[in-house]
């Protein structure tokens, strides 16, 4: 049997949510996406979190079985056509690294764990592409299985983003144990949600937006239930939700609940989602909320499309960080160009284009820690890159940027615990040497003066003998550099030409 490979104008995304796993395949026509295929499985990954934040074995196996099915559908796709994101549960699970390794083997592609605010940004992009192209400011709310994202944006741009630990899965398990539906349980759940939302209420007050929009399963489920049961006309309203709450309390237990418009897979998480949505309406002064069909998976697809069309959000973030941290632009550009050149030399024909991009970004941002202190500034730079909200970047990408920047100066001993990949070592040596060459912070004509190659046990740096003679300080730094690499098991040979 012949397998038909997807054409380059087809993109796929997988959203590993805390309640539902979704795969979507779409065809690109100009700058629009048209769905070709979709798969959805209610895994409830968030329900598998133990009290000490470990994913239990039963839930892992259920999730991995789903990954195997998704992996079959993704066969034949190239890495540039696929993006897979993990959300709240994979952010907080202490054993997520081991689980992700097994999942990636089944999917055939890397999994990006995205931060809460990055999730909010992507949710907004997905919602915006399914809404009319009007200019009003929108409040977009996405109640997921483990977290809820809040965004204020206009057209296709998110202005304010936030993520809170409010999830329909986690709240249903915490406040409605064994499916019990009581007035006090709803009161406790709603109050807990309001306490969290209160922290961000000043930024999301009604004067800041004109239209409230809900996305994803909870919002769609509430809209359908309220409309079909004549508790609201077409949108989600507070009065309609209060009528639904009263009906649930009357039934006393989830096993007694059967409502028009309520799908079986939404029943276990309905009370938690309802309590959170009521809290949002009460705390943020929402009177009515419309529902958008676009959600996180759509936002990921459009973001992936943007990367292919040279509209990469990561580039915008790097430029923002350069301004925010007052980077010496001329120095960063000098270092970037030389680091890129050295990396191409040392990588040869096996160049890792993704690593090259990360090296370029790291070179542009390697000095951002100077705004904190000159002493150990590389550690400050790495800390910022590891922990800051960086729209467009996954947590793994941020960790790689931080690692490259951490290694660009100082004792190399710290790198042995964090670098386990040859391409990453190549990026580290490229940036480290580029910084040494431009220690004077002045332009240097280096066109024919140097070369860098990989060797059996490390690297060979070839430098003009005359140049080294004219630059004794740099020559001395290279001799020290040989010792640093020896401390981590590499040979750095300095060859004079």
For residue range 40-89, list pLDDT tens digits in order: 999 999 999 999 999 999 999 999 999 999 999 999 999 999 999 999 99
Using one digit for the tens of pLDDT, what is the confidence trace for 287-309?
999 999 888 999 999 898 888 77
Q: Report the distance separating Cα 398 and Cα 476, nearest Å.
A: 33
What DSSP character marks residue 207?
G
Does 131 have pLDDT greater than 70?
Answer: yes
pLDDT confidence of residue 391:
86
Q: Which percentage of the chain shows pLDDT scores above 90?
A: 77
**Average pLDDT for 401-429:** 90
**121, 390 contact by CB (below 8 A):** no
Domains (range + CATH), the chain: 10-113 (3.30.420.40), 117-295 (3.30.420.150), 312-444 (1.10.3210.10)
Strand partners for 289: 236
Inform me whether the pLDDT recorded for 151 exceeds 50: yes
Residue 482 has pLDDT above 50, yes or no: yes
pLDDT tens for each residue of 80-103: 999 999 999 999 999 999 999 999
How much is the pLDDT for 38? 93
Beta strands in 252-343 (DSSP E): 288-291
For residue 491, what is the enclosing H or E element? strand 491-496
What's the average model confidence in pLDDT over 420-430?
A: 92
> Which two three-digit tokens encode residue 285?
């002064």
pLDDT band at residue 485 under the 50/70/90 scheme: very high
Q: Is the pLDDT of residue 31 over 90?
A: no
pLDDT at 1: 38
Give the integer Cα–Cα distance in Å for 88 and 46.
8
User: What pLDDT, on a 0 to 100 scale, did the predictor assign at position 8?
Assistant: 58
How, if at all, do strands 20-29 and 32-42 pair? antiparallel
Per-residue pLDDT at 447: 65
For 362, phi then psi, to 5°, come to -60, -40
SS3 180: strand
- Residue 473: both structure tokens together: 């300080």
CA 388/CA 86 separation, integer angstroms: 18
> pLDDT value at position 286?
96
pLDDT digits (tens, 9 = 90+) for 97-120: 999 999 999 999 999 999 999 999
Residue 253: DSSP 8-state: B
Distance (Å, whole) CA 77 – CA 126? 22
pLDDT > 90? residue 5: no
What is the pLDDT confidence band of residue 468, given thresholds at 50, 70 and 90? Answer: confident
Question: Whole-model pTM above 0.75?
Answer: yes
Residue pair 138/131 in contact by the 8 Å Cβ criterion: yes
Residue 6 has a pLDDT of 55
| Closest to 111 (Cα-Cα) out of 100, 102, 122 | 100
Residues belonging to the chain: 497
**What contacts 24+ positions apart, CB below 8 Å, involve 134-140?**
136/209, 136/210, 136/211, 137/208, 137/209, 137/210, 137/211, 138/209, 138/210, 138/211, 138/212, 138/213, 139/204, 139/208, 139/209, 139/211, 139/212, 139/213, 139/284, 139/286, 140/213, 140/214, 140/215, 140/292
């Amino acid at each position: 049997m012949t397998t038909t490979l997807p054409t380059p104008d087809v993109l796929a995304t997988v959203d590993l949510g805390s309640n539902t796993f979704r795969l979507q395949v779409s065809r690109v026509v100009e700058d629009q996406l048209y769905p070709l295929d979709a798969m959805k499985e209610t895994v409830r990954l968030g329900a598998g979190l133990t009290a000490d934040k470990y994913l239990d074995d039963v839930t892992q196996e259920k999730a991995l079985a789903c990954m195997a099915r998704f992996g079959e559908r993704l066969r034949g796709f190239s890495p540039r056509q696929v993006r897979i994101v993990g959300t709240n549960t994979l952010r907080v699970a202490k054993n997520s690294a081991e689980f992700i390794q097994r999942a990636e083997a089944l999917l055939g592609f890397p999994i990006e764990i995205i931060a809460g605010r990055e999730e909010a940004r992507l949710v907004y992009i997905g919602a915006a592409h399914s809404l009319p192209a009007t200019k009003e400011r929108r409040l977009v709310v996405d109640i997921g299985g483990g977290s809820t994202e809040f965004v204020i944006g206009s057209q296709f741009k998110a202005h304010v983003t936030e993520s809170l630990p409010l999830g329909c899965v986690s709240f249903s398990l915490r406040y409605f144990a064994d499916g019990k539906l009581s007035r006090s349980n709803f009161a406790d759940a709603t109050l807990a949600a309001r306490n969290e939302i209160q922290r961000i209420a000043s930024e999301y007050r009604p004067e800041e937006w004109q239209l409230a929009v809900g996305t994803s399963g909870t919002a769609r489920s509430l809209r359908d239930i309220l409309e079909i049961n004549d508790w609201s006309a077409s949108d989600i309203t507070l009065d309609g939700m209060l009528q639904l709450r009263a009906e649930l309390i009357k039934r006393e237990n989830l096993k007694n609940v059967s409502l028009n418009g309520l799908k079986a897979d939404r029943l276990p998480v309905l009370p938690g989602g309802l309590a959170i949505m009521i809290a949002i309406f009460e705390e943020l002064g929402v009177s009515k909320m419309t529902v958008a069909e676009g959600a996180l998976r759509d936002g990921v697809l459009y973001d992936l499309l943007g990367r292919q069309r040279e509209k990469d959000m990561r580039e915008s973030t790097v430029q923002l960080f350069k301004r925010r941290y007052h980077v010496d632009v001329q120095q960063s550009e000098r270092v970037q160009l030389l680091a890129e050149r050295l990396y191409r030399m040392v990588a040869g024909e096996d160049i890792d284009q993704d690593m090259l991009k990360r090296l370029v970004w790291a070179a542009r941002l390697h000095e951002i820690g100077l705004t904190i202190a000159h002493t150990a500034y590389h550690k400050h730079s790495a800390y910022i890159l590891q922990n800051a909200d960086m729209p467009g970047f996954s947590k793994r990408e941020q960790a790689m940027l931080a690692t490259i920047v951490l290694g660009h100066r100082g004792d190399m001993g710290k790198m042995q615990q964090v670098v386990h990949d040859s391409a990453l070592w190549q990026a580290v040596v490229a940036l480290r040497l580029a910084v040494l060459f431009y220690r004077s912070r002045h332009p240097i004509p280096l066109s024919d003066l140097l070369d860098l190659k990989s060797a059996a046990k490390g690297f060979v740096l070839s430098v003009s003998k005359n140049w080294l003679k004219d630059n004794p300080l740099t020559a001395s730094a290279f001799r020290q550099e040989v010792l640093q690499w020896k401390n981590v098991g590499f040979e750095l040979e300095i060859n004079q030409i």
